[in-house]
Amino acid sequence: MLIPVPAVLEARPGDPVGLPADVECTRTDGAAESYRLEIGASGVAFSAADAAGEARGRATLRQLGTTSTPLLIEDAPKYPWRGLMLDVARHFFGVDDVLRLIDLAALYKLNVFHVHLTDDQGWRIEVPGWPKLTTIGAETQVGGGAGGFFTAADYQRIVDHAARHSITVIPEVDVPGHVNAALRAYPELWGKDAPEPFTTWSSPGHSLDVRSEVVHRFLADVIRALPGEYVHLGGDEVEGLSHDDYVQFMWDACSLVVEHGKRPIVWEEAGVAKLPPGTIVQHWSDAKPARAAAEQGLPLIMSPAPHTYLDQKYDETTELGLTWAGAVDVRDAYEWDPEAVIDGAQVLGVEAALWSETTETREHVDSMVFPRLLATAEVGWSGRRGWEDFRARLGAHGAFLEGLGVPFHRSTQIEWSKR
């Protein structure tokens, strides 16, 4: 019932073996994140190439539980980027909810946790020198609720917790569009009166004044406030800017990230702009700008909405979720090829995205994320996979999710085993 399926999983003869709670791990040569487990009568031999490989091996041991038949597992990821995005802007989720979701993601060998921190409906991160981003910009969310935000200490706690699982946290501050919350706090960022609060799930279409020196200073301060190697700048669904202004802004903004010693990430729309070398582009809908980015030699994260957008309904009976990308049931999340749009050499990996337009509680998050995230995890990790095999393993794996207290969606595509 292991998910993702290991590269090598070889059953050995012998009686079941008890697994100790804390197995010692030794270092060995191998690919990044690789590990090896040999379980037999003499105990458990566990080795890994690095700390991340040890974390992935411990995730496997956690799924195996307290006993196992004798096994040989040799394992390493197909792609170096395997992520989950959580939108905390449309509906805010606090630190404890985020830490729990990171813990669950780690069990399925994900190594990236992408936090969508800002949007029209709310600004969720402190920035020194710009206090109204949180005193005004954070006070709303979809439906008109109270919203919320992460202090710098809160956010650092999330980063540190993820690092203990060898997971990298990616902060996203969406510019130059999707900025209504920021404009309410600081109208000078667009040179007009403060807009009204925006509490529905779409977008009013406002954009930053991309030629303004104030905007440049604002963006520099935001980048400095975000710890880590990466900054995701969004760049999607921008209205009200000319093509020339948009492409110049995306070059300038990504270059500013580079100047601060970080690596920029953008949504696919920015692929039409000339971008600094090393910029990562995230594909979600349109193959044309994704291919334009690939033609620049840039790496891509594959997040096609019909397969990875966890805000979409499972089927027409699902209470939560949207339908603009069609229903995304477990098979849709599993049966797709990350290398269908661009050459595989430029595919950095895969990422599932939970936009939170309709998810208001931890239980909502769990039911929309699980079990579809397990399909994404296997797409990103496993070089060998097949739907019928995955379907059988997932059906047996439901008891493990129940044991974790996860109220997952019981897709009718899966024959769930009783606990």
Structure tokens given for 137: 């910009």
Residue 391 makes CB contacts below 8 A (sequence gap 6+) with 330, 331, 413, 414, 415
From residue 25, give the alpha-carbon distance in Å to each of 35, 40, 109: 9, 16, 17
Instruction: Report the C-alpha gap between 220 and 205 in whole angstroms.
Output: 23
Peptide bond before residue 195 is cis, with ω within 30 degrees of 0? no
The distance from CA 209 to its chain's CA centroid, rounded to whole angstroms, is 29
Reply yes or no on whether 269 is catalytic: no
- Among 38, 188, 213, 237, the active-site one is 237
Distance, first Cα to last Cα, the chain: 13
Chain center to CA of 268: 16
- State the DSSP string of 174-210: EESBS-HHHHHH-GGGTTSPPPPP--SSS----B--T
How, if at all, do strands 263-267 and 280-283 pair?
A: parallel
Q: What is the three-class DSSP state of 405?
A: coil
Distance CA 91, CA 201 (A): 10
Q: How far apart are CA 141 and CA 249, in angstroms?
A: 27
Comparing CA positions, the residue from 273, 123, 290, 257 lying closest to residue 265 is 257
Q: What is the DSSP letter of 414?
A: S
Single out the residue of 210, 202, 226, 228 nearest to residue 117, CA to CA.
Answer: 226
Q: Could you check whether the bond before residue 70 is cis, i.e. omega within 30 degrees of 0? A: no
Residues serving a catalytic function are 237
